[in-house]
Amino acid sequence: MPQFTKRYRLVVLLGLASILALVLVGRWLNATKRGGQGPAEPFRIAGNLYYVGATDAAAFLITGPEGHIVLDGGYPSTAPMIIASIAKLGFSIKDVRVLLNSEPHPDHAGGLGVLQQASGAELWASEASAYTLASGGDDPDGILPLRALARIGVVGYPAMRVDHRFKDGDTIRLGPLALTAHITGGHTRGCTSWSFHVRDGDLVLNVVSACDLGRLATSQYPEQEADLERSFRVLRGLPVDIWVTCHARWWGRYRKFLASAAAKDAVEPFIDPQGYHAYIDAAEAELRSGRLH
């Protein structure tokens, strides 16, 4: 019996040590993970709207006289790129007052906590996204193995403070800046698209930051298809001149950046309502085909 007890204790200790090692390694991987991202040249899109993201994980700066807004935060390890891009454009992270999010996956929300600490800004989130952000990436609709790994710190990101929760149709204001939230669920329940205006010279342009519209194999819920159908209708009903989304390759960041640098009118290459509607059409076709991300 004593020998059995020693072996049992050894097995338990080895199991606990393995779990601890898994957590520590997972946290290290999360802290260094970039998802293949590298720094990208920041640039003005139009008026007071700028690109400050990485090569593909997009982030945007909207500047104003009473402070600035940043939309999306990349990975925790790529958030310093956003801070550096803001500085390169001549602005300061300390003047960012509001942080917004499209969806709470690590490649778009993981860095928001870093930006929050650097700026002291208040973080706004949809009700459904707020839990995931505050829990460090736990998606209630995710498959159980991923949820378990998120809870022990192997996947996800550092938990962050959510200061305000908004509802569909709410407008977030900062001085003259006004961004309207559209809950366009399907990719995640609380996935949020944003619409706002920018003034560029004599032009007032309609901007839409459209949410990801793809269904994930790792995160599904009963109302998902109905949410996507509604999201297609909502997005098609928004007036749009300039559109962006959370992955820069989807809206042609690099192509439009090069065209803008060579154009007589630097804003013209970003005016792309046809591309916006093609993005929605492609997502709808994907839904009809049954394909998953």
Amino acid 14: pLDDT: 54
Count helices and strands (H / E) in the chain.
10, 12
pLDDT tens, position by position, 44-62: 999 999 999 999 999 999 9
Rounded to a whole number of angstroms, the CA Rg of the chain reads 21
Cα dihedral angle (197, 198, 201, 203), rounded to 10 degrees?
Answer: -30
Report if residue 63 sits inside a domain. Answer: yes
Rounded to whole angstroms, the Cα distance separating 36 from 205 reads 33
Say how many C-beta atoms besides its own lie within 10 A of residue 183's C-beta.
23
Report if residue 7 sits inside a domain. Answer: no
Mean pLDDT of the chain: 91
pLDDT tens, position by position, 21-33: 444 334 434 444 5
Report if residue 243 sits inside a domain. Answer: yes
pLDDT-derived band at 151, boundaries 50, 70, 90: confident
Report if residue 14 sits inside a domain. Answer: no
Report if residue 258 sits inside a domain. Answer: yes
Say how many C-beta atoms besides its own lie within 10 A of residue 52's C-beta.
26
pLDDT-derived band at 149, boundaries 50, 70, 90: confident
Amino acid 33: pLDDT: 59
Give the distance between the most distant pair of CA atoms in the chain.
87
Percentage, residues of the chain above pLDDT 70: 88
pLDDT-derived band at 145, boundaries 50, 70, 90: confident
Predicted structure pTM score: 0.88
Rounded to whole angstroms, the Cα distance separating 129 from 104 reads 6
**Average pLDDT over every residue of 238-260:** 98
Measured N-to-C along each axis, helices 79-88 and 112-119 cross at an angle, to the nearest 10 degrees, of: 50
Report if residue 6 sits inside a domain. Answer: no
The CATH code of the domain that includes 223 is 3.60.15.10
Report if residue 19 sits inside a domain. Answer: no
CA neighbor of 193 nearest in space, from 213, 178, 221: 213
Say how many C-beta atoms besides its own lie within 10 A of residue 16's C-beta.
10
Report if residue 8 sits inside a domain. Answer: no
Domain residues for 88? 33-289
- The number of distinct structural domains making up the chain is 1
